Amino acid sequence: MEDSFQHAHGFLQTVVLLTLFLPLISFALSIIISYRYAWIVSISAPLFLLASAVCATIALFSQWNAPDVLMKFNWFTLGKDVFSADLLISNLVLLMLFVVALISFLVHLYSVGYMAGDKNIKRYFAMLGFFTFSMQGIVLSDSLLVLFVFWELVGFSSYLLIGHYSESINAGRASKKAFILNRIGDIGFLVCLMLVWSNQHSFNIIEIVGGEPSEWKTYASLCLFFGVVGKSAQFPLFTWLPDAMEGPTPVSALMHAATMVAAGVYLVIKVFPFFTPVTLEVITIIGLVTALIGGFSALAQFDIKKILAYSTISQLGLMLIGAGASMPEAALLHLLTHAFFKACLFLGAGAVIHSLHQAQRQAHAHFDAQDIRCMGGLSKKLRWTFATFVVSGASLAGIPFFSGFLSKEALLTSVWMQQGYFSAIVFLGFAIVSVLTVLYTYRLVYFVFLGESRMVKELPVTEIPLIMRIPLTILAVGSFWFVVSWSPFDFSGWLFEYSKTRAPIELTIGSSVIILVTLFFSTKIYRSGVAHTSDVLRNGFYVDSFYNKVSLYALTPIYRATLFLDRKVIDGGIHFSVYAQVTFAHVVAWVDRQIVDGLVHLVAGVASGIGSLIRSFQGGKIQHYVYWAVFAIIIFLICVLK
Amino acid sequence: MSSYSIILYGFILIALISAIGILAVNNVFKAALFLLTCLLSLAAIYVLCLAEFVAVTQILVYAGGVVVVIIFGIMLTTKLTGKPLEVKNGNLFPGLLAALAFASMLVKYQSMMATSTAELSTMSENLVSKTGVELMTNYVLPFELAGLLLLMALIGAAVTTRSTPE
Amino acid sequence: MNLQEALHIIEKSLSYLYPELILTGGILVLITISLFKRISSIVFSVVSISICLATISLLVEEGLLRASLFSGIIVKESFSTYLKILANIGSLVTCVMTLSSNNQRMKSAEFYALLLTIVLGGHFLVMSNNLLMVFISMEIISISSYVLAGHANTKEASEGSLKYFLFGSVASAIMLYGFSLLYGVTGTLDFATEGFVKGITEYNSPILLIAGFMALAGFLFKVGAAPMHPWAPDVYQGASVPVVAFLSVVPKLAGIGILIKFILVISAYGQSKYDWQAIISVVAILTLTVGNFSALAQRNLKRMMAYSSIAQTGFLLVGIAAYLPEGIQFMLFYATVYVAMNFIVFISLQFFEQRNIWNTEHFAGTGRLLLWPSISMLIGLIALTGLPPTAGFTGKLFIFSSLWEAYHLSEKNILLWLFVFGLLNTVVSLFYYLKIPYYAFLKEGQSVEKGNFNLWENLLSLILVLVVLGLFFAPGLLMCWINSVNFVL
Amino acid sequence: MIEALPLHILSAFLFATGLAIVIIKRNAIVVLMGIELMLNASNVNLIVFNRMHPSTFDGQMFALFVIIVAVCETAVGLAIILRVYRFYKTSVPDHIQELKG
């Protein structure tokens, strides 16, 4: 087994280890420095991360398409069993290593501007460094046990970062929720570890992925996938991600869009041969359900970050569909492109919020700086941000000539090539999600940057500082098609050449047409929507009136059919479909709130119920203690004696 | 039925009645006296079972020591309020239920044990001197530990009751 | 056997008992000191020197395989030696903790004498191979513990010690009755002899089950396992922190040591027709559930730690329930980690209690002002929860993997249930353990004065934290030693 | 010669009565008496069983040590009861219930 792997030579080992440990050094330095010199951290941390990113780049170019390398480290020995902490270096790992290092560096850079003046900046950069270290640990480690350790560390640093604004009650609640839901998923991971160990007596991925599918593998991989569900915010454990938006925006960009939530998908790709057909079907179903829920929910949100959060959930679901359709390469491709454009979108959103906050402070105005209903027309004031936002948004929407188009193409191809009714349904669902993506992306862009200025009209909004613009620009450039391949319509470019799959020409044309048509209609919907409700805008009740108007149309179709036989029919049809979608989105949100959250409450309630039942025996009277104990013995005896 | 058996049954009966007496009476002093009777009749039963040394210890330690200490304790904890020495009963039902469950279970299965070895074998000899030798040879470690236990119990009791100004 | 031979045996046996003799000497010196002078520095040095000497003499003879002393009523082997070393370390840490206590009674010579007596009793308890020795050493531990629990001389402490005493006396009376029945069945008190095992396998009557259960009640009382646990919360809440820390470690470890032996013997090394493995599994499930679920609603920290210690007993019992040699070794590993993490929490607990912080709500904002104590508490609690990167995680992983192996070997459903309940309870424990760090680090609270540990506490908690973290990254260091420990009766 | 059965019944009943006293009686000192009864029940057992296995003195020895332990328990127990009495002015175990939950 081991002979097929080349052993690491000194140079590669040094570079990879540097990539891994430089963020940890940054963390240590940020901890050590005293509060008085906290400003040093905001210089040193990005520098360390830059070094780490450079190392990752060197590793990527020196080892790209070379045979896989295994770096062996023995952790400890228990009797005969050797627990190793091996690091595996393959194309997949190198690519991910590079993406994490680069985006983490850019987020660090951005944070220097965004977090300037925060009193806990030391802790912030420390945890950011620590998070990057743990994430790179997940990327590199070849042992499931070590991977689990880093998995937990990632969850822990996320817990601390979500709760960064410690004065906010919501932040505390959100961080707790994220942590607990992740832990629930981790039970699955733990059980998988036990199953793997008892069946294979090894935790090394390269040793366990081989072999025929068997029953225990189905169970183990289902358990593992349950862990992924927790970390990658899939149905039914996705509710923590929208709440996690209470954290600082750069954190959301790094963790809750580009890297941490992608760790689950990455794990699926990494141990892909381990999954059995049954598990793959489950993965597809869960991915599809999540993608639909996320897409619909994104339509009904008004918080700029929550829209992006639900969009992330939806995109992660799409990645899992690709993995479930036996094409992990497609999932990886989407993971990479998504990392770039979603990070860019989040940082752009952060830029909007940041400049609005600044402006509010100057003008002493008070409104929710994250509510898109308050914005509008910002494109003239924040030109640079607008440009990057549109580029990355176009990539998210999957418009041709952008990277998102290509990666979605790859995912679609993977579903297309499957046979049977099941995959037809999946394909249909995928198409719906793609349409939804265009809709909510356009809605977001329109509400924030286009249209007329609402609350921000009078505000002296100014462009963000240069240090924040640099990361935005780099990420926006990374959202174009040439990141994936040289041809804007063929995803089998330089990143994807190890796969011989190509998209059918009809698929490419069909999807481009659908997306462009949807884009066209969405410009119609929102433009007309705003026109219809321009009188209501003053009251700030845009949605309610919009619903009223549309439902009036929907409830009197005959009246409308006789009266508007011209193009208003089309208009009405679109309105109707929008109405249905919005209703559905609300139903989904309700299910999310009542059923999933209710489930968490139910579990907590049952636990405290059992607790108080048991504690009722503990009434403080010693003689009661004695007789309860004696009764317990008697009951035990009667049970055993029969 | 020999006179030996009659004496044994007599003492068993006394022990049982006085044990139930402790449960039944409401006066603490009477309860203490019942305990004394019970322990003394047990000592007599030990003699009949050829365990003279244990019997003597029982009389000396229990009748002479423990019961007296208990009576002192009663006096100390009732003197201050001057209330009558009445004891009330609580948890009557669970207490009796637990006791009955244990008694029935033990009597049922222990009697099976007794019938399996129908008669007690006689001991050839039982000299007190032999007991002493055993204590100082085979049982010397428990014996010494018991000495330590007594010492620590005395110190503990002294520490516990010593009043420190708070 | 004539008198000459008997005396020879005694003389030879005594030469193996240096650690115990040193401890006894320490007790006597302390009692003598308490008669004349009350200089705390002398008292403290006597205690620490005698514990250190005893530990050193234990370490010196660590390689000893097995020695049967006093015609077989106690046996020295590496398993008991390991537990004895743990108990010694626990008592040493307790002594250092008392240094920073602000209750003068915690520094008196009698207090330390009682402490040493419990350690001595623990030594003999884990060595015992005889029911009489088990009873006597258990009573030494119990009676001294009753006194210690009330030693702070407050209202709560005296209530706790009364409850401890009444419950403990009933438990030991029940256990004694079980012993008498076992003696009747087998005709011998030496439970490692063939005659005892033969008696158990041949005597085919439910009376064995009753006897075993009644005896088990006493052991379960000692380790604080359900259903004999109700004393623990009240006693822990009342007693002062060093005493609680001590009681939750030393008597518990000694009780676990003898419980393993007893379970092995009562099931006649697995040949008994009664399934004692299932019984101990049920006890473990019950203990885990009671401990964790009751801890959920606690707001007093000492009381919460009492339930936590009940729950931790449950995890130790899981190692016993696995019924495998590895299970016992992993249990030893977990016990070691338990000692370290428990003391980390209690050291910071004492610090906080001296600043009138003993409720979860009081912890709001302490993370900023009392930084280091809060961090050390955080690490201790994370370890108790069983999260990486602490050895608590490694220990739980080891214990549950041995249980899983046992399930595969025996295919008993009850082991699977125990497994499921164990994992479930790990999740439940998260809710109450992390409540305190949550308040300390994420909430702003009332103003407390800035502060830090004193030198001793700092040193001690640093060492313990290093142990807990170090054993995660290199558990091999300890497992090497534990692998050489073999369990023989 | 004597039969073992009545002695077994005696010990079982003494144990049960002791347990009943411990649970029922509302006075700590009487509870202590109940504990003494329980200990004595096992003593009866030990001595009777010693007659069944007459080759050693094990049972009798055990009984002796039980008596010693009972003395220690009584001494410490009474001391604790006296102190609780000083704080609570009562020796009814049920009234001493500040710690609970």
Indicate if the pLDDT at residue C341 is higher than 90: yes
Q: What's phi and psi for B114, nearest 5 deg?
A: -65, -40
Distance CA D27, CA D94 (A): 9
Task: Report the alpha-carbon angle A207-A211-A216, nearest 5.
Answer: 95
Q: What is the pLDDT of residue A565?
A: 42
- A229-260 burial, b if ≥16 CB within 10 A, otherwise e? bbbbbbbbbbbbbbbbbbbbbbbbbbbbbbbb
Residues from chain D that touch B6, judged by Cβ atoms under 8 A, are none
Angle in degrees, 0-180, between the axes of helices D5-24 and B3-24, rounded to the nearest 10? 10
Q: Which residues contact C103 (CB under 8 A, 6 or more apart)?
A: C152, C240
Residue A600 CB neighbour total at 10 angstroms = 16
Average pLDDT over residues C315-339: 91
Across the interface, which of A623, A624, A634 has its CB nearest the CB of B101? A634
Q: What is the pLDDT of residue C311?
A: 94
Distance from CA of C305 to the nearest CA of D (A): 13
Across the interface, which of B32, B98, B149 has its CB nearest the CB of D19? B98
Place of tokens 């006894």: C24
Q: Which chains touch A (3 or more CB pairs under 8 A)?
A: B, C, D
Q: What is the pLDDT of residue A543?
A: 33
- State chain D's mean pLDDT as an integer: 89
Bridging pattern class, strands A87-89 and A69-71: antiparallel
Q: What is the pLDDT of residue B115?
A: 57
Interchain proximity A607–C227, CB inside 8 Å? no
| Long-range CB pairs of A578-586, under 8 A, 24+ apart, other chains included | A578/A525, A578/A550, A579/A547, A579/A550, A579/A551, A579/A554, A581/A296, A581/A299, A581/A436, A581/A439, A582/A299, A582/A300, A582/A547, A584/A296, A585/A296, A585/A297, A585/A299, A585/A300, A586/A300
Chain D residues interacting with chain A (CB cutoff of 8 angstroms): 19, 22-24, 31, 93-94, 96-101
All residue ranges of chain A with pLDDT < 50 are 1-4, 498, 529-556, 558-570
Of C31, B87, B158, residue with least CA distance to D80 = B158
* H or E element, residue C487: none
Distance CA C172, CA C351 (A): 35
Indicate if the pLDDT at residue C344 is higher than 90: yes
- Single-letter amino acid code for the residue at A25: I
Residue A36 DSSP code:
G
Interchain proximity D93–A619, CB inside 8 Å? no
Q: What's phi and psi for C68, nearest 5 deg?
A: -95, 120
Distance CA A229, CA B61 (A): 70
Chain C, 148 to 177: residues with Cβ < 8 Å from chain A are 162-163, 166-167, 170-171, 174
Best of B87, B89, B92, B97 to mutate (most A CBs within 10 Å, chain A): B97
Q: Determine contact: C110 vs chain D, CB below 8 A.
A: no
Distance from CA of B117 to the nearest CA of A (A): 23
Domain span at D59: 5-91
Weakest mean pLDDT among A116-130, C44-58, C374-388: A116-130
- D45-74 burial, b if ≥16 CB within 10 A, otherwise e? bbbbbbbbbbeebbbbbbbbbbbbbbbbbb
Bridging pattern class, strands A6-7 and A69-71: parallel
Query: What confidence tens digit (pLDDT) does each residue in A365-386 have?
Result: 777 777 777 777 777 778 888 8
Does D9 map to a domain? Answer: yes
Residues from chain A that touch C230, judged by Cβ atoms under 8 A, are 617-618, 625, 628-629
Q: Three-class SS of residue D76?
A: helix
Query: What is the full DSSP assignment across A214-232?
Result: -HHHHHHHHHHHHHHHHHT
Residues C446, C364: contact at Cβ < 8 Å?
yes
Q: Determine contact: B7 vs chain D, CB below 8 A.
A: no
Does D84 map to a domain? Answer: yes
The listed range with the strongest mean pLDDT (A431-435, B36-40, C416-420, D92-96) is: B36-40
* Sequence ranges of the domains in chain B: 1-84, 127-166
* H or E element, residue A460: none
Domain span at A616: 557-642
Residue A166 DSSP code:
T
Q: Which residues contact A581 (CB under 8 A, 6 or more apart)?
A: A296, A299, A436, A439
Greater model confidence, C64 or A319: A319
The listed range with the strongest mean pLDDT (A286-295, B143-152, C379-388, C400-409) is: B143-152
Q: Which residues contact A531 (CB under 8 A, 6 or more apart)?
A: none
Q: What is the CATH number of the domain that holds D78?
A: 1.10.287.3510
* Sequence ranges of the domains in chain C: 275-489
Across the interface, which of B38, B45, B89 has its CB nearest the CB of D25? B89
Burial of C67 (C-beta count, 10 Å sphere; 0-12/13-18/19+):
middle
Task: Examine residue C389 and say whether the peptide bond preceding it is cis (omega within 30 degrees of 0).
Answer: yes
Q: Determine contact: B164 vs chain C, CB below 8 A.
A: yes
- Which two tokens mark A536? 């209501």
The total domain count for chain A is 1
Across the interface, which of A615, A620, A626 has its CB nearest the CB of D99? A620
Residues from chain A that touch B87, judged by Cβ atoms under 8 A, are none
Place of tokens 């299910």: A591
Chain A, 612 to 641: residues with Cβ < 8 Å from chain D are 615, 618-623, 626-627, 630
C159: left (phi over 0), alpha (psi -120 to 50) or beta: alpha
Structurally, at CATH architecture level, domain B1-84 sits in Up-down Bundle (1.20)
Distance CA C67, CA C73 (A): 11
pLDDT in tens, chain B (166 residues): 688 888 999 999 999 999 999 999 988 888 999 999 999 999 999 988 888 889 999 999 887 888 888 888 888 777 555 665 778 888 888 889 999 999 998 888 887 776 555 455 555 555 677 888 888 888 999 999 999 999 999 999 988 887 654 4
